[in-house]
Amino acid sequence: MKFGVKALACLLTLTVVFGIMALPLVFAQEAQTVKTYAFINAVPNPVGVNQEILIHVGITMPLLSPEMGWENLEVIITKPDNTVEKITGIRTDSTGGTGVTYTPKKVGNYKLKTHFPEQVTTPTKMAGSYEVGIYPPGTVMLESYSEELTLVVQETPVPIYPAFPLPQEYWTRPIDAQLREWHSVAGNWLDSSPRKPVFVAGNDYAPESPHILWTKPLTMGGQVGDPIGEPGFETGDAYEGKWRSKIILAGRLYYQDGAANELWQRVVCVDLHTGEEIWRKTFLDNRTIAFGQLMYWRTPNYQGVFDYLWVVVGTTWHAFDAFTGDWVFAIQNAPVSSGEFFWGVPDRIKFGPKGEILVYTINTQQGWMTLWNSSHIVSLSGTGFYAWSWRPYGKVVNGTEGYMWNKTIAKLPGSVNLIFGLDRAVGGQLTRTKVALWGISLKPGEEGTLLYNKTWTPPAEWEEGDLTPEFNIASAEYGVYVIRTKENRQYYAFSTKTGDKLWGPTPSEHYLNYYGWIISPLVGERAPLIAYGRLYSTGVSGILYCYNVTTGELLWNYTATDPYNEILWNTAWWLHPLFIT
């Protein structure tokens, strides 16, 4: 049984003194000694043996600000065999209490008691509230013990909050927040990149009998008819795409209406499950959505997820409310400009553990790197009491406040190819005579540490055959970095952990897989994919090749045959994977 200690603290939070930062403090009296009242409780009680409990421990006297707490409390536990165990070093939150966990290992009655050691208040640890009065620094908070609590531990486990099975039938949003397990089928798609095939968490379960839920016309389509004859209506291919800037957020699909160069650019929001149009708006001066964001804001006053659609104009990022489509706030001098979004969201933009936007800038030639954090902008969140809520509405702030650190790194060949957020950045330089690969740590406390800097000498065939080596794709999960030689369509793999060669070359693929460009490991006409321990490769040939990503062994291939031979250059359809599920 698991309990959220911080969640309990939120439930038990007493009335916080508002305006403390702005108003002068009025003390109840001069520094003195104050009697304290320790308390203790355990949830659940009774409990089954080897089941975890949450102990509520503290004193009734609150503190003035959320960052303050009483220190060095302990819980004294007398077991059924009269041996004593202690939980020590406990620090409370500003309510005066907190929660600690404990797992009883034997059946019987346990005796629990809180011990609050005497301590003196300071300017950073002040007792009181407007209800009981505010005690000045130097006040002695006297030692106290709670009443003894009997914890009954039995053989039979007590019931816990039941898990809810994943849905077996049609379902819609909003999802009841109590259905915690459903997050695994309620994934969002925040990246609008047009040519970035991805594996996105929260979309793991494909329907076993896929079917069309709804259709919605984007433009005129199909055959025109006489007097034109056989030709069909234009669809936007290949350079005027009419299905652009699409993301999925909280069960809503957002996309750009019309082709890229049309006069009016409207953002359309529809219900993902029904296709019902919710709203249609023009953002700013005909701008498109760059990406979506889900930001978890958790403070003493507020916790919950905020959803935004981001529009980038130059170096100004505009946040729009995903529910209404209304403008909310803007960040000027952001570290990524609109030009970098041409092929979608740049790889140096990542999301942090709570959905905050992180941007890494790595200069391998001059030897430095920085980290920018959207939640680090003080002008946006406010300070002190004001930072306990999230009120960015109408603000236009300077994004340079978002830089968290600037680190010196080794000067390295080439450039960054992929960033594995909060873990490492990998990159290098490819020539026909040398493969240089390196890795830099991004782990907190190790930022900028050089993990490896390796070189590998390719076979003479690379230079003799004028082969073009390409960075294709990398996987943090499998620790593999895949390189391809374009002209002979062969793969090589290297370790993202050490830079060492793992396998390759593979047998040459069909000659038509020569065609198709790759700008980076995430953008291209024939970008391969890695998932489930497999490397999937395809392209103009219409053949899907599946390799073991650990060994390079070709496991199988599949040909998308055109039975009527309508394609000019082959008897199979050109393939381009969009995603894997």
> What's the pLDDT at 6?
38
Report the C-alpha gap between 91 and 71 in whole angstroms: 4
3-state secondary structure of 295: strand
In the chain, % of residues over pLDDT 90: 66
Lowest mean pLDDT among 66-80, 189-203, 347-361: 189-203
Percent of the chain with pLDDT over 70: 91
Distance, first Cα to last Cα, the chain: 32
5 band by pLDDT with thresholds 50, 70 and 90: very low
pLDDT of 1 higher than 60: no
The pLDDT, as a whole number, for residue 219 is 84
Please spell the DSSP secondary structure of 351-413, one letter per residue: E-TTS-EEEEEEETTTTEEEEEEGGG-HHHH-SGGGGGS---TT-EEEGGGGEEEEEE----S
- What pLDDT does residue 259 have? 76
27 DSSP 8-state letter: B
Rounded mean pLDDT of 358-381?
94
Flag the least confident range among 195-209, 305-319, 400-414, 457-471: 195-209
Domain boundaries, the chain: 5-154, 187-204+241-408
Question: Is the predicted pLDDT of residue 2 greater than 50, yes or no?
Answer: no
Question: pTM for this one?
Answer: 0.84
The stretch 542-563 carries a mean pLDDT of 97
- Count other Cβ atoms within 10 Å, centred on residue 372: 23
Q: What is the pLDDT of residues 94-117, one digit of tens each?
A: 999 999 999 999 999 999 999 999
Residue scoring higher pLDDT (343 or 291) = 291
Mean pLDDT of 568-580: 87
| 448-494 pLDDT per residue, tens | 999 999 999 999 999 999 999 999 988 988 999 999 999 999 999 99
Encode 47-82: b = buried (16+ Cβ within 10 Å), e = exposed: bbeebebbbbbbbebbbbbbebbbeebbbbbbbeee
pLDDT band at 576 (very low <50, low <70, confident <90, very high): confident
pLDDT in the model for residue 239: 75
Could you please state the CATH topology (level 3) that the domain comprising 187-204+241-408 is classified under: Thrombin, subunit H (2.40.10)
Q: pLDDT digit string (tens) for 271-329?
A: 998 999 999 999 999 898 999 999 999 887 888 999 999 999 999 999 999 999 999 99
d(CA 543, CA 522): 20
pLDDT band at 369 (very low <50, low <70, confident <90, very high): very high
Cα atoms in the 13 Å half-sphere on the side-chain side of 20: 21
- The enclosing H or E element of 463 equals helix 460-464
pLDDT in the model for residue 95: 94
pLDDT(160) > 70: yes
Evaluate if residue 200 carries a pLDDT over 70: no
159 neighbors 139 (Cβ within 8 angstroms): no
Report the CATH fold assignment for 5-154: Immunoglobulin-like (2.60.40)
Distance (Å, rounded) from C-alpha 424 to C-alpha 497? 9
Over residues 209-234, the mean pLDDT reads 87
**pLDDT for res 199:** 59
pLDDT class of 521 with cuts at 50, 70, 90: low
Give the chain's mean pLDDT: 89
pLDDT in tens, 22-79: 344 555 556 689 999 999 999 999 999 999 999 999 999 999 988 899 999 999 999 9
Q: Are strands 119-120 and 140-141 parallel, antiparallel or unpaired?
A: antiparallel
Query: When comparing pLDDT for 336 and 16, which is higher?
Result: 336
* Whole-number pLDDT of residue 343: 77
Look at residue 206 in the predicted model and tell me its pLDDT. Answer: 65
Interval 133-150 mean pLDDT: 95
The confidence band for 16, taking pLDDT boundaries of 50, 70 and 90, is very low
The pLDDT of residue 290 is 93
pLDDT-derived band at 133 (thresholds 50, 70, 90) equals: confident
Residue type, 48: G
Do 5-154 and 187-204+241-408 show the same overall fold?
Answer: no
| Average confidence (pLDDT) over 545-572 | 95
Weakest-pLDDT range from 114-128, 259-273, 551-565 = 259-273
Instruction: Give the Cα separation of 96 and 99 in Å (integer).
Output: 11
Residue 151 predicted with pLDDT over 50: yes
Q: Which of 17-31, 86-100, 106-120, 375-389 has the lowest mean pLDDT?
A: 17-31
